Amino acid sequence: MDRNMYYGDLSPTKKAAMELAQKLPDQGTMGGEAWNFFHLETEDYSMVMRTVTLACKASGMKSPVFLSIATFYSWLAGEDPKAKRQADFQFDLELPCKDEIQEGNPVFVSIVDFGSKAASSAQKIYHQIWMEFISYCETVHTEQMEQQMKWGRVSNPALPLYQQVFFVSYGAGCAFPPGVKSHAYTISYPSLSEEDFGRLLLEYHGRNEERKREYRERNGLPPVEARRLRLEDMKDTLKWYANHMAGIKEQSVRRLLLDMRCEFQAGDVDYTKREKVEKVIAAYKRKVLRQHDRLEIITIHRAKEGAVCGLDHIERWIEEHREAMRLPQKAPGGVLLVGIPGTGKSAAAKMMAKNFNLPLVRLDMSRIFGGLVGDSEKGMREALEDLKFAAPCVLWIDEVEKAMSGADGKDGGNSTVQRLFGMLLTFMQENDRPVFTVTTSNDISKLPSEFFRNGRFDQAFCVMMPDYYNCCEIMLEKLRGFYKALGWGTEIRHEHAKQIFNACVGAKAHPRFLTGADIEAHAKELFWHFVHKGKIATPAAEELATVMKSVSATMRVQASPDSPSSMQGIAESYLDMMQRGMTMAGNQDTPFVKENLDLDAVRFYKFDEKNPDQGEPRCIKLPDQTAKEYGIRRQSEDPEKWYDVVFYDELVKAIGESVIFSGQTLPQAREEYWKLKQHQRMAASKV
């Protein structure tokens, strides 16, 4: 194996070294600054040393000498660090690198910051001495510049001290004293390229083959021909590596390539098996994100997650965009799901992560907000950086109107929330990493208008309450799990689920309308009833329906005509979603299809005293329903026929009772509406 073919600095180190070389001053001249500070954005000290060495070579300097900050402080402080220093710093001859320093080799003093919140008292003393050293360098620099300008030369031809000492910070943050931190040059490290991963895979593949050969030789086994890895046949695989491991530093990538051996049989590691490699990468990212504790990692049990009923358009959209999810800079950005609580928005977010085969992370604003000024903004920046690190992933922003309450600036909105909201919107629109955002909202009227500009979301879905058919499907799905838990061997059938659901909806005279969450609550209560009874034999569907009827009498539901406020809230929510041009999440027919909906007649209806008999707007009708068929279904006692018809009829009624007037204040609208109602009551009394 040709080791020169594998080992060597990769592109991030080379690019960082070139950037550092451009910022290093020319030695032997009086130009430049009196001191130089550099912050390298890596936590790997070996990478710091390799970057500095390459930079010195590129800029024509001698080989660098590396000192720790502790050694440097001991030289500055002398025997007593608290004693006042004289402005005359000379290198102590007992330093281990005295020969190199005397020969003019550049000295790089390294200081690391692993995110400590407070400096010790000793560090504060050292920082004070450090500032005295900087002041000394500035004094010498000024004197030499004056001599050069006056005489064209300096009295001391030796290399100035300030051109020989350089300070390098690395780690989680810049560790320089506050007085000089703003003057430090920051050297960044880009992500590993496809070519880098090609070299790494060749290197580790070669190691594995060498290890396998030695094992067989040591155990007296016949040799086998070594497998060859042809990079020209791995272009897609290398792109996949570069996309999935972008943001992971070289040191961690190398560790992960070693850990991948655990997913394979001994001596049979194949780095082209993406499904096994992805497990190792995902596990590593979850570990890092949990350590940061800025994003919540949602565990999805792929075999246990049930089907999501009634969201056919969402499922179709996912299928059409599945392959594009892992395309860097071309992946879809995300979707907005809006609907009343309990309609399956959270389940849809999990379904998307499951179908895309991506990790699901949730943005929890309580982990972002901080008590001190600037802490919240810093927390949001770090969370967004974590998202780039986690990519490709699905980001779930649940109930965004609560998380960003006050972001619209109304009613004295919180300025911190507004800034965080702006940072989030900018990330959603400009992020170039494959982070697919699933944003859910129960009430979009509380969100600012800029949230709905083009480019924020690829699609906005209106998630409505399930119709009768999907209600039965949800009941079937929930009961299947309970059948299995109770040890009932008989498979529940669709007609049985329909019979049990019918027991939940009440009579047509007093209907009850259920969301998916309501159905799950009813199914759980039915399950607990049989757990308490200790019943072993599988009951008949009629018995289950009878028990469900008594159970439902003690359960509340999302909507019913007896609760007009709930019906009115649902109606207004649907109108808001339709007015914003959202797409239906399911295939079920609704009275809110745009072609059948005159929003102006509903939202901006105005009472005309000259035509008092015009009545309330009734512009909403069931699509594809003739008047005769509608009447038949309205009179039916079978829930399968009347459930959807009565639900939409109640919504139309609720809309008629919540008219919004155009160009009027709320008190004026109430007065106008009162006139209309008064006229209708008077007309009814005459009859």
In whole angstroms, what is the distance from residue 78 CA to residue 336 CA?
64
CATH 3.40.50 fits 3-187, yes or no: yes
Whether 6 shows a pLDDT value over 60: the answer reads no
Say if residues 655 and 602 touch (Cβ distance below 8 Å).
yes
β-bridge partners, 336: 439, 460
Mean pLDDT of all residues belonging to the chain:
77
* Domains 3-187 and 296-462 alike in fold: yes
Query: What is residue 612's DSSP assignment?
Result: G
Using left for φ > 0, alpha for ψ between -120 and 50, and beta otherwise, residue 651 falls in: alpha
How many other CB atoms are there within 10 angstroms of residue 187's CB atom? Answer: 23
End-to-end CA distance of the chain, in Å? 102
Question: What are the strands, taking DSSP E only, across 241-392?
Answer: 296-298, 334-338, 360-362
pLDDT > 70 in the chain, percent: 74
Query: What is residue 611's DSSP assignment?
Result: S
Residue 448 banded pLDDT, cuts 50, 70, 90: confident
**What DSSP assignment string belongs to 166-221?**
EEEEEESS--S-HHHHTTPEEE--PPPPHHHHHHHHHHHHHHHHHHHHHHHHHTTP
With CA atoms as reference, report the closest residue to 66 among 47, 80, 43.
47
pLDDT digits (tens, 9 = 90+) for 605-664: 455 556 655 554 444 444 445 556 666 676 788 899 888 888 877 877 776 665 555 555
Using left for φ > 0, alpha for ψ between -120 and 50, and beta otherwise, residue 4 falls in: alpha
Task: Give the pLDDT mean for 240-263.
Answer: 84
Say if residues 482 and 523 touch (Cβ distance below 8 Å).
yes
| Nearest-5° Cα angle at 42, 40 to 44 | 120
In whole angstroms, what is the distance from residue 367 CA to residue 380 CA?
9
Count CA atoms closer than 13 A to 620's CA, side-chain side: 26
Task: Give the pLDDT mean for 247-261.
Answer: 84
What torsion do the CA atoms of 224, 230, 231, 235 make, to the nearest 10 degrees?
A: -110
Both tokens assigned to 610: 């000259």
pTM: 0.73
Whether 86 shows a pLDDT value over 50: the answer reads no
With CA atoms as reference, report the closest residue to 167 among 246, 109, 221.
109
Q: Where are the domains of the chain?
A: 3-187, 194-292, 296-462, 468-552, 593-637+658-686
Please identify which residue in the block is written with the tokens 């207004």: 572
Residue 3 banded pLDDT, cuts 50, 70, 90: very low
Lowest mean pLDDT: which of 15-19, 569-573, 611-615, 638-642?
611-615
What torsion do the CA atoms of 464, 470, 475, 476 make, to the nearest 10 degrees?
A: -150
In whole angstroms, what is the distance from residue 97 CA to residue 352 CA?
59
pLDDT digits (tens, 9 = 90+) for 485-540: 888 877 788 899 999 999 999 888 889 999 999 999 999 999 888 888 776 678 88
Q: Is the Cα dihedral 587, 588, 589, 592 positive or negative?
A: negative
In whole angstroms, what is the distance from residue 430 CA to residue 409 CA?
23
pLDDT > 90 in the chain, percent: 13
Lowest mean pLDDT: which of 30-44, 277-291, 548-562?
30-44
With CA atoms as reference, report the closest residue to 58 among 16, 97, 100.
16
**4 contact partners, CB below 8 Å, separation of at least 6:** none
Q: Report, in this order, helix, strand and coil percent for the chain, each rounded to 5.
A: 50, 10, 40
Whether 604 shows a pLDDT value over 50: the answer reads no
Lowest mean pLDDT: which of 284-298, 383-397, 545-559, 610-624?
610-624
What pLDDT is stored for residue 501 in this prediction? 95
Whether 315 shows a pLDDT value over 80: the answer reads yes
Task: Give the pLDDT mean for 43-72.
Answer: 89
In whole angstroms, what is the distance from residue 292 CA to residue 280 CA?
19
Please identify which residue in the block is written with the tokens 């199914």: 523
**396 contact partners, CB below 8 Å, separation of at least 6:** 298, 346, 349, 353, 360, 361, 362, 363, 438, 440
Both tokens assigned to 464: 């409505």
Using left for φ > 0, alpha for ψ between -120 and 50, and beta otherwise, residue 581 falls in: left
**What DSSP assignment string belongs to 322-334?**
TGGGGSTTTS--E
Whether 248 shows a pLDDT value over 80: the answer reads yes
In whole angstroms, what is the distance from residue 201 CA to residue 206 CA?
8
Query: Residue 171 is which amino acid?
Result: G
Both tokens assigned to 680: 């209708």
Q: Are strands 360-362 and 296-298 parallel, antiparallel or unpaired?
A: antiparallel
Task: Give the pLDDT mean for 160-184.
Answer: 80
More confident residue, 539 or 79: 539
pLDDT digits (tens, 9 = 90+) for 283-293: 888 888 888 88
CATH superfamily of 296-462: P-loop containing nucleotide triphosphate hydrolases (3.40.50.300)
Task: Give the pLDDT mean for 356-363.
Answer: 87
**265 contact partners, CB below 8 Å, separation of at least 6:** none
